[in-house]
């Protein structure tokens, strides 16, 4: 092994390198891909001292086991993952997520199950020394497009840009990320008129469960079928993350980061962009409820979420080597306006 790296001893299920995706290439048939949860990606990077859009490892359901093959490394995990550090003497210590930590050469970072969310993010200070593809480090797993051969993380060295962690204290988040709560908010889709009024009312009234066949491309929702007025097929047109397509069986598909660029099923609605991180974290089996809002309100919600995210990232607090009581920090409301209850 040459150069600083994290040696992957266990890759974890479908861990992949992700940033914010390949922007501006959909007209050429290149999908965006990128992180399912851009808020978690931004927090992990900020804690590690990186720009919020730097590539990090997206961990799905459980994380990897990594040995440090560098003098030292600063890292952070954003998301409710079980994290352990195994020292060179074999001693194991539990580490908290949503804060940065420093590891020394030959220490092992073992990230176990993610509890209560589908994904978490592992960022390292300085980033990974991996060449971008088409201007991005995002991995589109279904198409095999991206760094690391376009596939999930595998055994072997994962190169680092830095051999040594910089000086200074570690940092922790002093307020929760602004995911929002309550029903997932939808705006009417471009083919809303292709569905009966009862289908629209049913989507807003009934719960839909995330099916087990869901993946980074989209959520297959299970619930009462949504009826078309005259068939499900339309001439193929453009798609965006959050589109709710409805094929002939009436079971909606909510598209996520790896969605195709065009599609031929009618789209009844689109989930607002501010709710996509919450959807990206949602586990199979989760019951979702929906509510309808207008485009102007959706834009206002997105701007407010961005403002609150900037406040969270700007309000990271220095911590020592010990644990930090995050619940106590939240109660102190160190950052005005970002630690209170989420709006519905």
Rounded to 10 degrees, the C-alpha dihedral 228/233/238/239 comes to: 50
112 Ramachandran zone, left/alpha/beta (phi>0; psi -120 to 50): beta
By the 8 A CB rule, do 106 and 68 touch? Answer: yes
d(CA 91, CA 173): 27
CB neighbours of residue 99 within 10 Å: 22
- Which residue, among 43, 180, 33, has the nearest Cα to 121 in the 3D structure? 43
CA–CA–CA angle 187, 26, 246 (5° rounding): 40
Q: pLDDT digit string (tens) for 199-210? A: 999 999 999 999
**Structural domains of the chain, with CATH:** 5-168 (no CATH), 184-297 (2.40.100.10)
CB neighbours of residue 23 within 10 Å: 11
d(CA 336, CA 332): 10
By the 8 A CB rule, do 42 and 48 touch? Answer: no
Identify the pLDDT of residue 336. Answer: 38
d(CA 147, CA 299): 33
Intervals of the chain under pLDDT 50: 323-344
CA distances from 15 to 66, 82, 244 (A): 12, 15, 26
By the 8 A CB rule, do 62 and 113 touch? Answer: yes
CA–CA–CA angle 66, 68, 71 (5° rounding): 170
Identify the pLDDT of residue 343. Answer: 30
């Amino acid at each position: 092994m040459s150069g600083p790296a994290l040696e992957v001893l266990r890759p974890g299920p479908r861990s992949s390198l992700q940033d914010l995706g390949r922007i501006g290439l959909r007209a050429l048939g290149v999908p965006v891909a990128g992180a399912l949860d851009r808020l978690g990606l931004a927090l992990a990077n900020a804690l590690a001292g990186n720009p919020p859009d730097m590539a990090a490892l997206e961990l799905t359901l459980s994380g990897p086991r990594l040995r440090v093959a560098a003098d030292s490394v600063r890292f952070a995990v954003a998301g409710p993952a079980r994290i352990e550090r195994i020292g060179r003497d074999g001693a194991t210590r539990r580490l908290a997520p949503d804060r940065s930590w420093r590891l020394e050469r030959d220490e092992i970072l073992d990230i176990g199950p993610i509890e209560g969310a589908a994904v978490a993010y592992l960022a390292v200070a300085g980033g990974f020394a991996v060449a971008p593809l088409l201007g991005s480090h995002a991995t589109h797993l279904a198409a095999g497009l991206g760094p690391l051969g376009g596939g999930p993380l595998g055994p072997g060295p994962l190169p680092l840009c830095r051999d040594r962690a910089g000086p200074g204290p570690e940092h922790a988040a002093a307020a929760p990320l602004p995911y929002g709560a309550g029903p997932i908010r939808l705006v009417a889709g471009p083919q809303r008129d292709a569905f009966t009024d009862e289908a629209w009312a049913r989507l807003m009234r009934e719960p839909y469960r995330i099916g087990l066949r869901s993946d980074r491309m989209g959520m297959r929702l299970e619930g009462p079928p949504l009826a078309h007025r005259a068939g499900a097929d339309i001439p193929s047109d453009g798609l965006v993350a959050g589109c709710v397509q409805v094929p002939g069986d009436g079971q909606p598909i909510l598209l996520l980061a790896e969605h195709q660029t065009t599609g031929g099923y009618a789209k009844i609605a689109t989930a607002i962009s501010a709710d996509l991180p919450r959807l990206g974290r949602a586990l199979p089996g989760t019951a979702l409820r929906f509510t309808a809002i207008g485009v102007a309100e959706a834009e206002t919600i997105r701007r407010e979420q961005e403002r609150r995210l900037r406040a969270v990232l700007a309000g990271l607090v220095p911590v020592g080597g010990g644990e930090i009581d995050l619940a106590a920090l939240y109660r102190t409301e160190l950052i005005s306006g970002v630690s209170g209850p989420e709006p519905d």
